[in-house]
Amino acid sequence: MEFPVSDTFQLDGKPVVFETGQTVMQAALAAGHYIPHLCYHPEFKPHGSCKLCTVKVNGRTAASCTMPAEAGLEVESDIDELNALRRTLVQMLFAEGNHFCPSCEKSGNCVLQALGYDLEVHSAGFRHQFPDRPLDASHPDILLDFNRCILCELCVNASAEVDGKHVFALAGRGNSKHLIVNAESGLLKDTNIALTDKAMSVCPVGVIIKKGVGFSTPIGERRYDQRPISQQALDDAPRPPSGEAHD
């Protein structure tokens, strides 16, 4: 049986073993090294849109989720310069949308909120834009709150690649870019989405919400209330089966 060829690169001065075909992000997480990220999901092809996972590779910045791992790379991640950039990006996302954490059903399970805590973001840092994006409550079981969308495209990819339904898409460009529902009416009730769809579970914020089950898990007992996102992400990282060797 053939196994992928493995080699190493340096991440913040520590060797990271990687397999052929892995990105810097994939190899780092699998090796137990956390790189902050938001739009990356291990089940989908990375596209580097959020830039939270930006690292320095041999002195030049790159998105670690799309940067192929190569032998001998010198990668910097946990440094003041990049963490300051990440804090600014998180602040901008909070300011661009309507993220009212205390009243949000996703609080405690929200990746954006958890990143804010992990990166020690204490304020929005920018003037809030307060966008006017109407909610879609047309579906009997699902609520869409477009005000919280961060344009990560995960629901778009999940609906297309896993569910095979293409329920969601992004429209517009620049400041006008926004999430839409692929129905002539533009309403979720006129799609074939189901509660069991992958698209229902991948939103990192509180855009796609199941009706009728709000706060069934109390605040304080949720995913990121228990352990920080930097630890949870390492737990979730795909790894080879225990004991698997490489030739």
Do 60 and 116 fall within a single domain? no
Q: Count Cβ neighbours within 10 Å for each residue of 3-30 and write b for 16 or more, e otherwise.
A: eeebbbbebeeeebebbeebbbbbbbbb
Q: Is 49 contained in some domain?
A: yes
What pLDDT score does 243 carry? 43
Q: Is 243 contained in some domain?
A: no
Q: Is 152 contained in some domain?
A: yes
Listed residues 49, 78, 107: the one ending a domain? 78
Do 112 and 225 fall within a single domain? yes
Compute, in degrees rounded to 10, the torsion defined by CA atoms 137, 214, 111, 157.
-40
Q: Is 134 contained in some domain?
A: yes
Listed residues 24, 50, 78: the one ending a domain? 78
What pLDDT score does 86 carry? 97
Global pTM? 0.90
Q: Is 48 contained in some domain?
A: yes
What pLDDT score does 103 carry? 87
Do 63 and 94 fall within a single domain? no
Looking at the structure of the chain, the number of domains it has is: 2
What pLDDT score does 78 carry? 97
Per-residue pLDDT of the chain (247 residues; tens, 9 = 90+): 444 667 999 999 999 999 999 999 999 999 999 999 999 998 998 988 899 999 999 999 999 999 999 999 999 999 999 999 999 999 999 999 889 888 899 999 999 999 999 999 988 789 888 888 889 999 999 999 999 999 999 999 999 999 999 999 999 988 889 999 999 999 999 999 999 999 999 999 999 999 998 888 888 899 999 889 999 888 888 766 554 444 3
DSSP calls for 28-63: HHHTT-----SS--TTS-----S-TTEEEETTEEEE
Do 192 and 224 fall within a single domain? yes
Q: Is 210 contained in some domain?
A: yes
Do 210 and 91 fall within a single domain? yes
- Domain with 163, as residue range(s), is 84-229
CB 219: neighbour CB atoms within 10 A?
A: 12
Listed residues 78, 109, 141: the one ending a domain? 78
Do 100 and 213 fall within a single domain? yes
Q: Is 241 contained in some domain?
A: no
What pLDDT score does 184 carry? 96
Do 42 and 160 fall within a single domain? no
Residue in the block written with tokens 């990220």: 37
CATH code: domain of residue 26: 3.10.20.740
Q: Is 123 contained in some domain?
A: yes
Do 182 and 136 fall within a single domain? yes
Compute, in degrees rounded to 10, the torsion defined by CA atoms 60, 24, 111, 83.
-30
Strand 6-11 relative to strand 74-76: parallel, antiparallel, unpaired?
Answer: parallel
Q: What residues have CB less than 8 Å from 198, skipping those under 6 apart?
A: 158, 159, 162, 163
